[in-house]
Amino acid sequence: MLKFLVRRVLGLVFVIIGVTFITYAMGYLAPGQDPIKALLGQHYTAIAYHNLQVQYGLDKPWEIQYLNFLWNLLHGNFGLSYRFPGQSVNDIILPSIGVSVELGLSAFLLAILIGIPAGVAAALKRGKWIDTTLMGSMLFLYSIPAFVFIPFYQVLMDILVAHNLPYLPVSGWEGSISYKIAPVVILALTNTGYFARITRTVMLEVMGQDFVRTARSKGVAERSVIYIHAFRNAMLPLLSVIGPSLAYLVSGAFVVEDLFNIPGVGYQGINAVFNRDWPVLQATVVILATAVVVMNLITDILYSIVDPRIRVS
């Protein structure tokens, strides 16, 4: 177990260093106006320029800049914004992490609560109309991207407003829970479809195995066969798919955050692109990539606890 852990953590460190290097290199190679000049604008003087350059650490050669970048990262410091003078990237990005986690986690739970039971139901009624209908609609949810659902949702809300019917807000996040319903549901749709399809496949595979037949033939009640024998064994392969999805939900919410004006990490990242605020974009990328890698590691560890055979291979 220890050996397995050490190997996985080393791999993680490699990946994170790789990610920071790519991100750093992109910011360094970014074409366009010198960020310090852009920051100074009309107040440009040679002395002010030099002072700021030193303050931002941009007077040093690139390898030193990168090491500084890493060193600051280790201390949880993402540097200074190129767009907003005097503001640190932390001020901009840290509040958004909570928002993204809340959005992603809620969508994740919703997708699990709907997707997995739907998949189990479809597997149990295999070939029946319930199965066909469920899986057809799940493929629909899985295939259609969020940014197609959002305009339709907005139009629906406009219609409700026009007819004096109860409606949900189409933009914003802070405030009452009514703001959160639509973004969470729409973000969850794709994964609901995905979880349902995977659950069905895995369940069918498990249900066809010998130990299920044994359980049935020795007279175990069908309910126990399904929930104790089959489902518990189906959990394992499900875990390996569902774990990483959480990170993807937290980080893949660019579109939902953008179209609903939710100040999450993705939203800040997109804004940073238009502000040419590379340090903020770099912070976004490093935070999200780290989240993914760490989630994958946690999944692997959980998996190896549940199924010790994994550690060997």
Partner 1 sequence: MDIEKKSESMLEHEILSSPLEMDPDILAAEQNPSTPLRDSLRRFAQDKRALISLAIVLLMILTSIILPPIYQQIGPVLTLRHGFLHAKPSQYHTPWFINNESVDTGPSSLYWLGTNYLGQDMLARILAGIQVSMIVAVLVVGLLDVGLGVLFGVLAGYFGGVIDTVLARFTDLIFAFPGLLFAVLITGIFGQKAIEIAGNNGMLILVSFTLGLTVWPQMARYVRGQTMQLKEQQFIEAARTTGSTSLQIIIRHILPNIASLVVVAATLDISGAVINEGVLSLLGLGVQPPGSSLGLMINESITNIAQYPYETLLPAAVLAVLVLCFSFIGDGMRDAFDPRTKD
Q: Which of 147, 214, 261, 308: binder of partner 1 (CB under 8 A)?
A: 147
Q: Which of 91, 145, 211, 213: binder of partner 1 (CB under 8 A)?
A: 145
Q: Does 141 bind partner 1 (CB under 8 A)?
A: no
CB of 48 to partner 1, least distance (A): 26
Q: Which of 94, 105, 204, 298: binder of partner 1 (CB under 8 A)?
A: 204
Q: Please, are residues 154 and 79 in contact by the beta-carbon 8 Å criterion?
A: no
Residues touching partner 1, count (CB under 8 A) = 54
Distances (CA, A) of 57 to 38, 39, 62, 67, 259: 16, 15, 10, 11, 35
Q: Which of 126, 167, 236, 310: binder of partner 1 (CB under 8 A)?
A: 126
Q: Which of 2, 3, 29, 41: binder of partner 1 (CB under 8 A)?
A: 29
Residue with smaller CB distance to partner 1, 140 or 227 = 140
CB of 232 to partner 1, least distance (A): 20
Q: Does 285 bind partner 1 (CB under 8 A)?
A: yes
Residue 194, both tokens = 């995905």
Q: Does 281 bind partner 1 (CB under 8 A)?
A: yes
Q: Does 13 bind partner 1 (CB under 8 A)?
A: no
Q: Please, are residues 251 and 100 in contact by the beta-carbon 8 Å criterion?
A: yes
Residue with smaller CB distance to partner 1, 51 or 183 = 183
Q: Does 27 bind partner 1 (CB under 8 A)?
A: yes
Contact partners, residue 8, CB within 8 Å, separation at least 6: 297, 300, 301
Using only C-alpha atoms, the chain has a radius of gyration, in whole angstroms, of 24
Q: Could you identify the residue written with the tokens 């219609």?
A: 159
CA 51/CA 80 separation, integer angstroms:
14
CA 48/CA 39 separation, integer angstroms:
11
Q: Could you identify the residue written with the tokens 């195995």?
A: 209
CA 275/CA 281 separation, integer angstroms:
10
Q: Does 34 bind partner 1 (CB under 8 A)?
A: no
The letter for the amino acid at 134 is: L
Residue with smaller CB distance to partner 1, 51 or 143 = 143
Q: Which of 291, 142, 310, 137 is nearest to 239 (CA)?
A: 310
Q: Does 201 bind partner 1 (CB under 8 A)?
A: yes
**Nearest 10 degrees: CA dihedral of 232, 236, 241, 242?**
50
Q: Does 293 bind partner 1 (CB under 8 A)?
A: yes
Residue with smaller CB distance to partner 1, 75 or 274 = 274
CB of 272 to partner 1, least distance (A): 8
The letter for the amino acid at 1 is: M
- Give the angle 250-253-259 at the CA atoms, nearest 5°: 150
Classified as helix, coil or strand, 128 is: coil
Q: Which of 2, 45, 217, 274: binder of partner 1 (CB under 8 A)?
A: 274
Q: Which of 140, 178, 261, 306: binder of partner 1 (CB under 8 A)?
A: 140
Q: Does 183 bind partner 1 (CB under 8 A)?
A: no
Residue with smaller CB distance to partner 1, 11 or 220 = 11
Distance of CA 225 to the CA centre of its chain: 35
Residues that bind partner 1 (CB under 8 A): 11, 14-16, 18-19, 22-23, 26-27, 29-32, 126, 139-140, 142-145, 147-148, 151-152, 154-155, 158, 200-201, 204, 247-248, 251-252, 254-255, 258-259, 269-270, 272-274, 278, 281, 284-285, 288-289, 291-293, 296
